[in-house]
Amino acid sequence: MSSSEEKRDEGLDSGTVETVRGLVRKFVGELSPLPASSDVRADLILRDELGYDSVRQVELTFLLEELFGFESLVVEEAPFMETVGDLEDFTLDMISRGRARVPSQSDVDRVGELVPTRSE
């Protein structure tokens, strides 16, 4: 873990960090256009390695906004995010700032229903 990751994560307990990273990876993998995206890692590049195009990135953005309850305009203020780790780091930063929240299991279930199946 880099010093910037440690600084950002220091206000959050390890269980929260692990939960958030796991949820981001889960939904990135489920929404990825590529079928072999079950092993999502922080270093994977959304476009090149997971097959995300601009439309699918917008869908992922809306899904993560819904899941983590981002405050209005948070995503519009976000820096360019190229990797899964960038999404994780941004989400953790927003949670630590009180601009997003850790979702409940019912939130996860509800948002999971929004993910299209591979055949759609």
Q: Tokens at residue 93, please?
A: 């930063």
| Spatial distance between the Cα atoms of 63 and 26, rounded to a whole number of angstroms | 12
Which residues are 47's β-sheet partners? Answer: none
Q: Is 90 exceeded by the pLDDT of residue 117?
A: no
Tell me what the pLDDT averaged over the chain comes to.
86
The one-letter code for the residue type at 63 is: L
**Angle between helix 105-112 and 14-31 (nearest 10):** 10
Q: Of residues 3 and 12, which shows the higher confidence score?
A: 12
64 pLDDT higher than 60: yes
pLDDT at 86: 95
